[in-house]
Amino acid sequence: MSHTRLIGALVLGIGLARVAANAASMDDHAIRGLERAWNQAELHHDVKAVDELLADTFVRVDNRGRLVNKAQYLKEIGSNFTQSLEIVHEDITVQMYGDMAIVVSTYHVRGSRNGKAFLERGRFIDTWVRLADRWRCVANQETMVQQNAVLRNN
């Protein structure tokens, strides 16, 4: 390969790497936005909004170890048994793998369940897949770290 072709190939390779890095950055930003939208939808019991975020094959292992499908999860979101006042994700990381993203984060939820105040802290992993040009969550797993922590009157 001639010197000119080698330089051309290197320049092209660097350009393609930059385009790929830009796309991954945009996807990372999009996934973080979808996670925030999911929190807001849960806070407001917005079943339609949550439904749009999840693949039809969505499966969840909740923080009590129960296996829950999409229909069961949407029913839980729509119920008034749990009233969340705050859902916060911290230390969120997004790892991109082409048309798949893995989100790992800690969370805390403050609210009331069956009329009793609660605070839960835990970790979760969400698996997002680009399906028909839209990101959809296909799996969620939560692990409880602390439940019913002492609540302060704020």
pLDDT in tens, 128-140: 999 999 999 999 9
Which residue segments constitute the domains of the chain, with CATH numbers given?
3-147 (3.10.450.50)
pLDDT per residue as tens digits for the range 95-119: 999 999 999 999 999 988 888 898 9
Q: Kindly report the length of the chain.
A: 154
Per-residue pLDDT for 141 more than 50?
yes
Per-residue pLDDT for 43 more than 60?
yes
The helix, strand and coil proportions of the chain, stated in percent and rounded to the nearest 5, come to: 35, 45, 15
Strand partners, 84: 111
pTM higher than 0.75: yes
pLDDT higher at 51 or 108:
51
Query: Looking at residue 147, what is its pLDDT?
Result: 67
E strand or H helix at 89: strand 82-97
- Encode 2-22: b = buried (16+ Cβ within 10 Å), e = exposed: eeeeeeeeeeeeeeeeeeeee
